[in-house]
Amino acid sequence: MIRLQNIEKVYRTDTVETLALNSVSLDIAKGEFLSVMGPSGCGKSTLLNIMGLLDMPTKGEIRIGDNKTENLTDKQLAQFRNKTIGFIFQSYHLINDLKVIDNVELPLLYRSLSAKERKELAGKALEKVGLSNRVKHFPTQLSGGQKQRVAIARAIVGRPEIILADEPTGNLDSAMGNEIMDILLQLNQRDGTTIVMVTHDENMAKKTHRLVRLFDGSQVQ
């Protein structure tokens, strides 16, 4: 499903050059649930962003499904993200000025769907994460766990084949974290969604199919 070959990422600022990823190669199968661990600053987010086509590697090649990605235009990349990838972030990244339902609809705005269809799909996605009773709330009126469930609903509303989750439980206590983890496991098992999850929690990682460890930009396991 996702194939990374010799990915290298160098960040250049005026004064320093950071080698964030050093020759990382990864093959992720369709339907796999992969977790990524490693100390802070080792390049986990960078790896996820590159997989999600939010960032370009300095060197190396990414294939998603049967598609090579290096020659895609900005518009094609956007469409690709819209159709195939759902993102979940540690800090949720909800838009506070939009109601829960409108936040969930967001990916569908960039597809040609009617308002009614969007509403229906968003409603279903919220049902899946157990938030049907919070559609008219604003994000600021929700708890952290609820916010992350909204973010998950937003990630799955467009039925992507891949979900990329960057420390989805990082801001939550263990009970809430487990709730979120259960939803992700269910998505993987029932819908066959491929999931890549960055985590600091060994217990969470244990529940996934495979664990990749990074250290200073290199894959060590």
Partner 1 sequence: MIRHLFKLAWNKKKQNFLLITEMFVSFIVMFAVFTLMVFYYNNYKTSMGFDYDNVWVANYTPPQNITTTDSFQIFHQSLGNMVRSMPQVNDISFTSANVPFAMSTNSTEVSFGNNRHIRTNVYQTENDYKKVLNLKMAEGRWFTDADKITGKYTPVVINSKLKESLFGNTAAIGKIIREEQFDEVPPADKYRVIGVAENMKDKGDYQEVENGMFVAIDTGWMRNAGNILIHVKPNADAAFEGRLSKALSNAIGTSIEIEHLDKKLQSKNLLMLVPLIIALIVAGFLIINVALGLYGVLWYNINKRKAEIGLRRAVGASGADVSKQLVGEALVLATIALIIGTFFAVQFPLLNVFDLPAGVYITALLLAVLFIYLLVLFCALYPGRQAAAIYPAVALHEE
Ligand X SMILES: Nc1ncnc2c1ncn2[C@@H]1O[C@H](COP(=O)(O)OP(=O)(O)OP(=O)(O)O)[C@@H](O)[C@H]1O
Residues that bind partner 1 (CB under 8 A): 49, 52, 54-55, 74-75, 77-79, 81-83, 87, 89, 91, 93, 95, 97-99, 102, 106-107, 109-111, 115, 138, 154, 158
Are the beta carbons of 25 and 219 closer than 8 angstroms? yes
Q: Is 142 left (phi over 0), alpha (psi -120 to 50) or beta?
A: beta
Q: How near is the Cβ of 31 to ligand X at its closest, in Å? A: 25
Of 22, 35, 45, 193, the residue at the interface with Mg ion (CB under 5 A) is 45
Q: Are strands 210-215 and 194-198 parallel, antiparallel or unpaired?
A: unpaired
Identify residues 46-65 at the interface with ligand X (CB under 6 A).
46
Residue placing its CB nearer to ligand X in the complex, 104 or 214: 214
Identify residues 8-27 at the interface with ligand X (CB under 6 A).
11, 13, 18, 20
Of 15, 17, 40, 133, the residue at the interface with ligand X (CB under 6 A) is 40
d(CA 2, CA 45): 16
Tokens describing residue 15: 């004064």
How many residues at the interface with Mg ion, by CB under 5 A?
A: 1
CA distances from 50 to 74, 84, 126, 193 (A): 14, 14, 28, 19
188 belongs to the binding site for ligand X (CB under 6 A): no
